[in-house]
Structure formats: structure tokens, C-alpha cells
Amino acid sequence: MNGPAVYERVREALGQLNMDTALVELDDVLQRGTKEERSSVEVLDELLERELSARFERRVRTNFRLSGIPVLRRLAEFDFDASPEIPKRTIEELATLRFLANGENVLFLGPCGVGKTHLATGLAVQAIEHGHRVYFTSLHDLVTKIASARARQRLDRLMWTIHRAELWVLDELGFLPLRTEDATFLFELVNKRYQSRKSTVITSNKTFARWTDIFPDPVLATALLDRLLHYSHTVNIRGESYRLRDRRIAGIPTDESDKE
């Protein structure tokens, strides 16, 4: 079989294998290979590398779109100088994602406006950019999803959707008390992930001692904490809300509602 026929056969095979990037990049890779006198294996290696890289980037974009993350925030953008109370070394260790590989949880505790959501989002984005599936939701949104799923008799589907994520981020736990049926769903979900050693990141404005304010049954709150804390990292953040700090520096008066 002559050269042009082989070339067309390769193009056809790439199309049948859905290797779209390799198909587009084929001519460029062949020309570079000829110019640099590369071996056939080296040419093939570069072509496959471009295809795999493009597929990874598409998967990252898809995972981010489906993750539910409301605003893109990276850990590199976090201002540790303005928040010296946050243990930077601990965050850098978490950024390695070893906690995810080990099936450990991360709990960020502290008052409003100290950066908990930014840090949780940053870890989620880091995980997505390393190819992991992430599901992000605030407690308010989760309760809304539970109500919708219950009305459509699709609670099992919601449970499966969140459980299948390698990392689940639950933001703003503590901003509203839970009804019994919602608290039960949350416990079952946490317990299911605990048994599967899947990581969960939670942010809360309440200390563990005050989680009984969130759950209608203190026994349920204790059982949930037991599963979350068994394999976990807890980051307690103290300090002034950055929103209040910025207003104070700007000389803008604050009122009590700003502290909520």
C-alpha cells in the first residue's frame, strides 16, 4: 500500500476512534517529525499525547460545568497576608489533594467573611483540575434539591448523584436549622460517603458544640460528627470578616446586620 493510501487510512481510523484532536493535529505532527527526523514511535507518541491532553482538558471543563461551583476561586488567589490567622502550611498541604486520595474530610469552621468558602472552592477547583469529579452545593441549595427530589420521588437519584462525586463540598452549614427529613437525608449521605471513604469538605459558621442548633435531634448531630471527624482535617479560623475590615479601613460605618 502506497504512502497516500496509508495516510488516508490513518485519517479514517482516527475518525472512527473519535480521536478528533489527533485527526486535526496529524499533519502538523507528521511535518514536525519529518523536519526533526524523529522515529515513528516518537511521532506516534506526540500525536497520542496531544489527543490525551485535549481529552483531559475537555473532561476538566465538563467537570467544572457540572460541579455546581458558583464562582471560580483558586487557592493561589487567596490573600494569606490579610488573613494571618489561617494556617497557610495546612492549606498548602490540603492543596496537594492527599486528603482526597486518603478519603479524608476537611472542615472549615469560623465566623462569616473569613474566607471559608474561598478555601473550600479553591480545593474543589484544584481537584477538578486534577481530573476529579466534584459536586458543590450550599446547605440552602441542598435543602431545595431535597424538596424537589422528594416531590418527584427521586431522592435516590439525588443521593447517587452526590455520592458518586469524588469530592463533595457542602457550604454554609449552620445558616439555617434543618427539618427532620432533611437532616436524615444529610446523615444518610454522609454515612454512605464515610463507608466508601469518599472525601467531603464542609464550611460552617458554628463550632461543633453548636451543631445541635442545626439538627433537630442531638443524637443525629453527634452521629454525623462522629463519621465526619473519624478521618478528617479541621481548620478553625478566627478573625474579623474581610468585608467588615474593608469597610472599617475605608471609614464606612458598619451595623450589626453586617456581622451576620
Closest CA to 106 of 186, 204, 221: 204
pLDDT for position 150: 96
Domains of the chain by residue range: 3-66, 70-259
pLDDT for position 55: 86
With H, G, I as helix, E, B as strand and everything else as coil, classify residue 250.
Answer: coil
The rounded distance, in Å, linking the Cα atoms of 228 and 193 is 9
pLDDT for position 253: 53
pLDDT for position 64: 85
* pTM of this prediction exceeds 0.85: no
Strand partners, 171: 138
pLDDT for position 259: 40
Q: Within the chain, which residues score under 50 in pLDDT?
A: 243-244, 246-250, 254, 256-260
pLDDT for position 239: 64
Query: Hey, which CATH number is domain 70-259, 2.170.120.20, 3.60.15.10, 3.40.50.170, 3.40.50.300?
Result: 3.40.50.300
Tell me how far the alpha carbon of residue 162 is from its chain's centroid: 12
CA distances from 240 to 43, 95, 116, 165 (A): 57, 24, 12, 33
Residue 54: all three cell numbers together = 485535549
Closest CA to 189 of 234, 153, 225, 158: 158
Greatest Cα pair distance, the chain, in angstroms, is 82
